[in-house]
Chains A and B, each alone.
Chain A
Amino acid sequence: MTVNTWIVVAGDPAIGTLIATARSLGGEVTAVVVGPRQVADTVAAGGVDKVIWLSQPDDVPVEAFANAVADTVAAAPGVVLGGMGPSERVLLGAVAARLQAPALTGGMSVTLEGTDLLVKRTIFGGIAEDSVAVSGPVVLVLDGGSVPAATGSAPVEQVAAVPAAMTVVTTKPSEFEQVDLGAAMRVIGIGRGLKTKEDLALIDGLAGASGSEIACSRPLAEGLDWLGRDRYIGCSGWNISPDVYFAVGISGQLQHMVGVRRAKTIVAINSDPNAPVFAEADYGLVGDLYQLVPALTDALK
């Protein structure tokens, strides 16, 4: 048993994981690409069997082709894969609506079991996982992965499409350097063990010495407002995978720890020896963070 798959590409060829997943299902892999020619060519070289290309003029957003993508896929309804970005989701939403197909998110693995697809998903912000069996058409929203290496040269078929009435007026690069916790090599997460907002200076010191970004547990961003909401880690916040995560004054509830489960190494500093964080840590320091953080800062200098 094999399954043919569609891969929906919204201008970004970072679909290496999608191609690998589609390939593992054994059937024919067709990519529908909205974007410039160059993106279609990158995808065609990346290991798919065929590319259907919808050429995107510069002043028209990818989203304007959502219905056209749905029309294309509706010719052979089946398993449709796509990335998690906002434009990808718009194209996939139109496809799911056209196929009357369920749209599943949070997928971690997709395998074939008899005639069904077995999808392992993370659900409810990561506090649980489930396995679902899927039969019939389905849209799977997955982590796209990186740009695939050039391994082949699938044919590219250009299809004419009429975009929806939307145009790009201006495009501006961001003025600020955004905090990208997702890309940080080292992250310090602070929790309620920190007594006052002024004590953040202590954490700044450690961040400087260790080359870390500062993040926090949810109460610090939402109840106390010490840090921005874009800095909290855990279910409904960031899910990160740094080399080192320092959990400082964090008790380690499941809702927080799911956000750091992909960290290579976890260090926990907490005064409560019974805090659940120690069971999830590689190195645990039971003690007063007001002594341990400065000591660690000095040791790193």
Chain B
Amino acid sequence: MKIVVPYKWASNPQDATVGTGGAVDWSRAKPGISEYDPAAVELARGLADATGGEVIGLTVGTKAADTTMARKTVLSRRLDRAVIVADDALEGAGSAQLATILAAAVRLIGDVDLVITGDSSIDGGGKMVPTVLAGQLGWPAVAEVSSVSGTAGSVRVERAIAGGTQVLEISGPAVLAASTDAAPPRLPGMKDILAATKKPVQTVTLAELGGVPASAGTVTVKGTTRPDLKVRKQQLIDTKDPAAAAAELVAALRGDGAL
């Protein structure tokens, strides 16, 4: 079974700073394999091992996704090899465009049975890349997948639905978006890190995949701002006597109808 796991080399907005004018500064954020992608790798690994298959990491991004460190970090995860499309023309590309390039790369890899993605990227977080990718490939997609079993061309998938779970059977290739806790990611050990440098990496140019995809709709950013946090009362309650402070707070909350 040939399984492709798309991953993103990305920074966590937790580590970004936002200026008063709204500019997002990523310079202090350290990029890595996006938070939820390792769960997809583990899910794919489990299925590949059960069926005697291969797990291929695939990324599409800027040149930052193809440094020695990025390669090593990614390949120390339980992937067999990686395919990397790194081009600075992709700076600021939208999720639909990235998904279109991923689809082209999946076709180039060829004979892929399943694509398993993480839940969402840690930076954009729109959760649309897996589903647009499926649309581009013409394959069915299922999100919130917690487990997968079966063989090439016929898989059984468990996914979360409102108030429970559902088991689906899918014939033919498909795109599955793993839930964030689908499989606990294993932290790479020293052996994995050493093995990483020996795993094959294939670089594919953006041109080989048709360049930056044309978009029928255009999106122009007009401006960025810090979020409008609600104006708060900012009323300080004297805490010299904790019991009195607590009573005052409870009275105030009751007065506001908040309790």
Using a CB-CB cutoff of 8 Å, which residues 159-178 of chain A contact chain B?
A: 164-174
26 A–B contacts, CB within 8 A, in A order: A90-B134, A96-B128, A97-B134, A100-B213, A101-B215, A102-B94, A105-B128, A125-B14, A125-B123, A128-B225, A132-B220, A137-B216, A138-B217, A166-B169, A169-B156, A172-B165, A174-B163, A236-B13, A244-B259, A266-B232, A279-B234, A281-B234, A282-B256, A284-B236, A291-B242, A292-B245
Binds B, one of A20-28, A29-37, A46-54, A255-263: A255-263
Question: Interface residue tally of chain A, by bracket?
Answer: 35 or more
Nearest CB in chain A: distance from B187 CB, A: 13
Q: Does A112 contact B (CB under 8 A)?
A: no
Classify the interface of chain B: helix, strand, loop or mixed: mixed
Q: Which residues of A contact B245 (CB under 8 A)?
A: 285, 287, 292, 295
Interface SS of chain A: mixed
**Chain B interface residue count: which class?**
35 or more
Please encode chain A, from 118 to 162, with 1 for each CB lying within 8 Å of some chain B CB and 0 for all others. Answer: 100011111111111111111101000000000000000000000
The answer to whether B14 and A235 touch across the interface, beta carbons within 8 angstroms, is: yes
Partner of A283, one of B128, B138, B216, B252: B252
Q: Are B227 and A236 in contact (CB under 8 A)?
A: no
Query: A97-B132, A137-B216 known; A298 and B168 CB under 8 Å?
Result: no
Minimum CB–CB distance from A114 to chain B (whole Å) comes to 13
Stretch of B47-55, B139-147, B192-200 lying at the A interface: B139-147
CB-contacts of A258-301 with B (<8 A): 258, 261-262, 264-267, 278-287, 291-292, 294-296, 298-300
A213 proximal to B (CB < 8 A): no
- Bound: A171/B163 CA distance, A: 10
Query: Which residues in chain B, 194-222, are within 8 Å of chain A measured between CB atoms?
Result: 213-222
Closest chain-A Cβ to B235's Cβ sits at a distance in Å of 5
Q: Indicate if the CB atoms of B216 and A100 lie closer than 8 Å.
A: yes
**Contact status B242-A128, CB under 8 Å:** no
Closest-by-CB residue of A relative to B136 is A97
Q: How far is the CA of A301 from the CA of B54 in the complex (A)?
A: 59
Interface residues of A in 90-122 (CB under 8 A from B): 90, 92-106, 118, 122
Q: A97-B100, A165-B172 are in contact. Are A129 and B253 (CB under 8 A)?
A: no
Query: Does A282 contact B142, Cβ atoms closer than 8 Å?
Result: no
B59 at the interface (CB under 8 A from A): no
Q: Which residues of A contact B213 (CB under 8 A)?
A: 100
Contacts of B221 in A (CB 8 A): 130-132
A192 within 8 A of B: no
- Please name all residues of chain A whose beta carbon is closer than 8 Å to the beta carbon of B141 when the two chains form the complex: 63, 66, 90, 93-94
Are A132 and B222 also in contact (CB < 8 A) when A90-B143, A127-B24, A261-B229 are? yes
Q: B166 on the interface (CB 8 Å rule)?
A: yes
Known: A96-B135, A172-B165. A125 touches B232 (CB 8 A): no
B243 touches A299 (CB 8 A): yes
B259 proximity list for chain A (CB < 8 A): 186, 210, 244, 300
Q: Which residues of B contact A98 (CB under 8 A)?
A: 135
Q: Are A127 and B16 in contact (CB under 8 A)?
A: yes
Q: Is A5 an interface residue (CB 8 A)?
A: no
> Across the interface, do A101 and B217 meet the contact criterion of CB distance under 8 Å?
yes
Q: Mark A236-268, 1 if CB is under 8 A from B, else 0.
A: 100000011000000000110110011011110
Q: Is the CB of B218 within 8 A of A130?
A: no
Chain B residues closer than 8 Å to A129, beta-carbon distance = 22, 224-228
B100 neighbours in A (Cβ, 8 Å): 97, 100
B109 at the interface (CB under 8 A from A): no
The list of the 10 closest CB pairs from A to B, nearest first, reads A93-B131, A97-B135, A136-B217, A105-B126, A86-B143, A287-B239, A94-B135, A295-B242, A299-B246, A165-B171
A134: which of B142, B217, B232, B253 is its contact (CB, 8 Å)? B217
Question: Is B89 part of the contact surface with A, judged by Cβ < 8 Å?
Answer: no
Question: Nearest Cβ distance between residue B220 and chain A, in whole angstroms?
Answer: 5
